[in-house]
């Protein structure tokens, strides 16, 4: 037993950790804990939770298996799903039997989930779920403040979980929606409750062309190292893969051409186009890189008065439209709807292009007030757009902030925009910015012909992997606790 166990330890502590560390570094992803259920706290925490369940009469025996008495905790579990579920991601709701209503009508699915077998060993699936707790305990002394906060605690603790679904294997999502919350609800007492799931975001698998699905063990799927080998930046890969993925209900299929088209049509033709027009205008005569005074009273200096009136109306409309987009973006990211948040960014870029294009036929000297206000609002829109982009493409966003020579806005973006419309903002009047050259390299056009080249390079290997999968068959055993990683 020591041999295989030791081998698994060495494999996971070296290869997997190095692989994740290297790929996460390239993707600009940071994490606080890289832990496993093999830590010294896991047996004690798991045993204590099991003892608590048994003391409360929440465990029943059937033959050599022990099961959680889920029917007794079902009302609380239903309340959790009905209260929190509507705010979960579309994929998370869809996985629960294509909707919460059908899921709640099923009386039996949780009854088939053992927590112990032979009276000796924890069921791997149940034990692994409690690894979230033991990994936290292994990393910090005050872990109970997070997992068992006191009833009068001043700070509310919310548990947000991100789960990847692999080839229609819904168990991973179901266990986070049902088995883990049911266990912690059943083990809680009124004055000392466990922290329960608040937000769940699910990412479904991406099939790679020949419908063989996503399997890490066979190297079949769309992985970060595939993008690395093709010279793509992590920002491009992340942003375009998210946008080109299809709706959960229809499944996802990956094509390199879709990723390239998403980059060229969205990042280059919308986002970069807006930024480029504003930055070039501010760097041209008569501004030469200095942001003009953009208080709204400058519009009154433009003659004839009809121009001033139309400009004022457009600025007022922009104020409301941008505020709504920023509010929608904040709500969608709060609810884990990353793709919808991405759509808000693209809409803001389109609104920005239309706004800064309007005075292009007006003389910059005769209508200086209009130009000053429009460019002042436009350059602040660029700054807020970079802040919205940061969760998706952090390296690119950092480059935009460097070009603007400003710090990232802190706090609610809607409040920053209100100050911008009052003549203040992250990019103030008379502030000097850099030029477009500093950002241009972040938005290079990709030749669509590269899609065929990239696909051809992986054709042979993909066919071999697909054949290996077909020979293996569709049955896969569940993972043991030694193969599960928590971040």
Report residue 252 as tokens: 């996802």
Q: What is the pLDDT of residue 5?
A: 56
Stretch 54-83: mean pLDDT, rounded? 83
> Interior CA angle at 211 toward 207 and 216, to 5°?
50
Query: Would you say 242 and 393 are in contact if contact means Cβ atoms under 8 Å apart?
Result: no
Q: What is the pLDDT of residue 210?
A: 52
Is residue 49's pLDDT more than 90?
Answer: yes
pLDDT bucket at 460, cuts 50 / 70 / 90: very low
Higher pLDDT, 115 or 470: 115
Residue 253 β-bridge partners: 207
Residue 60: phi and psi, rounded to 5, are: -125, 150
Is the entire prediction scored with pTM above 0.75?
A: yes
User: For residues 399 and 440, what is the distance between their CA atoms, to the nearest angstrom?
Assistant: 10
End-to-end, the C-alpha distance of the chain in Å comes to: 27
Q: What is the pLDDT of residue 101?
A: 53
User: For residues 203 and 89, what is the distance between their CA atoms, to the nearest angstrom?
Assistant: 9
Query: Would you say 277 and 356 are in contact if contact means Cβ atoms under 8 Å apart?
Result: yes
Is residue 479's pLDDT more than 50?
Answer: no
Is residue 283's pLDDT more than 70?
Answer: yes
Query: Would you say 414 and 329 are in contact if contact means Cβ atoms under 8 Å apart?
Result: no
Please tell me which of 326-340, 390-404, 458-472 the model is most confident about, judged by mean pLDDT. 390-404
Q: What is the pLDDT of residue 229?
A: 76
Is residue 437's pLDDT more than 50?
Answer: yes
Distances from the Cα of 230 to the Cα of 233, 338, 456, angstroms: 9, 25, 12
Is residue 20's pLDDT more than 80?
Answer: no
Q: What is the pLDDT of residue 484?
A: 33
User: For residues 415 and 326, what is the distance between their CA atoms, to the nearest angstrom?
Assistant: 10
Query: Would you say 239 and 392 are in contact if contact means Cβ atoms under 8 Å apart?
Result: yes
Please tell me which of 12-16, 61-65, 136-140 the model is most confident about, judged by mean pLDDT. 136-140
Report residue 110 as tokens: 């949780």
DSSP E strands in 174-277: the ranges are 197-203, 207-208, 253-254
Q: What is the pLDDT of residue 477?
A: 38
Q: Determine how many CB atoms are found less than 10 A away from the CB of residue 189.
A: 9
pLDDT bucket at 273, cuts 50 / 70 / 90: very high
**Tens digits of residue pLDDT in 216-230:** 555 555 666 677 777
**Tens digits of residue pLDDT in 83-104:** 887 777 766 766 554 444 555 5
Least confident of 14-18, 66-70, 254-258, 285-289: 14-18
User: For residues 209 and 91, what is the distance between their CA atoms, to the nearest angstrom?
Assistant: 21
Least confident of 46-55, 86-95, 437-446: 86-95
Across the chain, mean pLDDT equals 79
Please tell me which of 56-65, 113-122, 220-229, 309-318 the model is most confident about, judged by mean pLDDT. 309-318
Q: What is the pLDDT of residue 341?
A: 93
Is residue 415's pLDDT more than 80?
Answer: yes
User: For residues 466 and 211, what is the distance between their CA atoms, to the nearest angstrom?
Assistant: 9
Q: Determine how many CB atoms are found less than 10 A away from the CB of residue 192.
A: 12
**Cα 203 to chain centroid, rounded:** 9
Residue 211: phi and psi, rounded to 5, are: 65, 25
Q: What is the pLDDT of residue 293?
A: 87
Is residue 487's pLDDT more than 50?
Answer: no
Cβ within 8 Å of residue 60, ≥6 positions away:
66, 67, 69
Distances from the Cα of 419 to the Cα of 311, 355, 377, angstroms: 19, 18, 11
Query: Would you say 428 and 407 are in contact if contact means Cβ atoms under 8 Å apart?
Result: no
Is residue 287's pLDDT more than 70?
Answer: yes
Please tell me which of 149-163, 408-422, 444-458 the model is most confident about, judged by mean pLDDT. 408-422
* DSSP helix/strand/coil, 187: helix
Q: What is the pLDDT of residue 303?
A: 55
pLDDT bucket at 152, cuts 50 / 70 / 90: confident
Please tell me which of 67-71, 168-172, 291-295, 339-343 the model is most confident about, judged by mean pLDDT. 339-343
Is residue 8's pLDDT more than 80?
Answer: no
DSSP E strands in 172-323: the ranges are 197-203, 207-208, 253-254
Q: What is the pLDDT of residue 248?
A: 46
pLDDT bucket at 264, cuts 50 / 70 / 90: very high
Percent residues over pLDDT 70 in the chain: 75
Q: What is the pLDDT of residue 136?
A: 93
Q: What is the pLDDT of residue 457?
A: 63
Residue (of 115, 19, 131, 98) closest to 61 by Cα position: 115
Stretch 356-378: mean pLDDT, rounded? 91
Higher pLDDT, 245 or 75: 75
User: For residues 15 and 8, what is the distance between their CA atoms, to the nearest angstrom?
Assistant: 10
Residue 486: phi and psi, rounded to 5, are: -120, 135
pLDDT bucket at 276, cuts 50 / 70 / 90: very high
Q: What is the pLDDT of residue 344?
A: 96
pLDDT bucket at 277, cuts 50 / 70 / 90: very high
* DSSP helix/strand/coil, 125: helix
Q: What is the pLDDT of residue 249?
A: 43
Q: What is the pLDDT of residue 327?
A: 95
Q: What is the pLDDT of residue 12?
A: 60
Higher pLDDT, 174 or 57: 57
Higher pLDDT, 355 or 65: 355
């Amino acid at each position: 037993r020591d041999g295989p166990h030791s081998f698994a330890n060495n494999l996971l502590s070296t290869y997997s950790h190095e692989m994740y560390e290297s790929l996460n570094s390239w993707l600009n992803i940071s994490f606080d804990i890289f832990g496993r259920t093999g830590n010294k706290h896991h047996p004690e925490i798991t045993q204590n939770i099991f003892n608590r369940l048994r003391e409360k009469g929440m465990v029943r025996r059937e033959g050599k298996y022990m099961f959680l008495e889920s029917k007794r905790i079902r009302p609380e579990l239903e309340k959790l799903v009905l209260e929190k579920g509507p705010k979960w991601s579309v994929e998370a709701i869809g996985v629960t039997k294509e909707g919460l209503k059908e899921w709640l009508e099923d009386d039996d699915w949780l009854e088939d989930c053992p927590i112990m077998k032979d009276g000796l060993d924890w069921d791997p699936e149940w034990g692994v779920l409690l690894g979230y707790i033991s990994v936290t305990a292994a990393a910090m002394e005050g872990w109970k403040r997070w997992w068992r906060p006191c009833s009068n605690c001043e700070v509310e603790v919310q548990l947000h979980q991100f789960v990847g679904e692999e080839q229609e294997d819904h168990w991973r999502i179901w266990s986070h929606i049902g088995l883990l919350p049911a266990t912690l609800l059943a083990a809680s007492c009124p004055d000392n409750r466990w922290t329960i799931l608040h937000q769940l975001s699910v990412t479904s698998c991406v099939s790679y062309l020949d419908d063989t699905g996503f399997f890490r063990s066979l190297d079949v799927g769309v992985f970060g190292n595939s993008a690395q080998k093709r010279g793509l930046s992590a920002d491009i890969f992340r942003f375009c893969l998210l946008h080109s993925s299809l709706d959960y209900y229809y499944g996802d299929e990956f094509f390199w051409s879709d990723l390239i088209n998403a980059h060229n049509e969205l990042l280059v033709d919308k986002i970069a186009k807006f930024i480029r027009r504003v930055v070039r205008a501010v760097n041209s005569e008569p501004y030469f890189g200095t942001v003009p005074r953009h208080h709204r009273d400058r519009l009154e200096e433009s003659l004839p008065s009809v121009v001033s009136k139309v400009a004022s109306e457009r600025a007022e409309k922009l104020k409301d439209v941008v505020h709504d987009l920023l509010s929608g973006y904040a709500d969608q990211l709060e609810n884990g709807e990353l793709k919808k948040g991405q759509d808000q960014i693209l809409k803001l870029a389109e609104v920005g292009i239309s706004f800064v294009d309007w005075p292009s036929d007006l003389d910059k000297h005769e209508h200086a007030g209009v130009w000053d206000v429009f460019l002042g609002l436009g350059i602040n829109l660029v700054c807020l757009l970079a802040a919205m982009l940061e969760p998706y493409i952090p390296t690119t966003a950092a480059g935009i902030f460097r070009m603007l020579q400003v710090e990232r806005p802190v706090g609610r973006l809607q409040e920053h925009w209100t100050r911008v419309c009052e003549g203040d903002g992250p990019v103030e009047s008379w502030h000097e910015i850099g030029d477009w050259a500093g950002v241009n390299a972040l938005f290079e056009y990709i030749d669509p012909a590269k899609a065929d080249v990239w696909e051809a390079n992986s054709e042979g290997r993909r066919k071999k992997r697909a054949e290996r999968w077909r020979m293996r068959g569709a049955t896969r055993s569940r993972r043991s606790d030694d193969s599960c990683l928590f971040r």
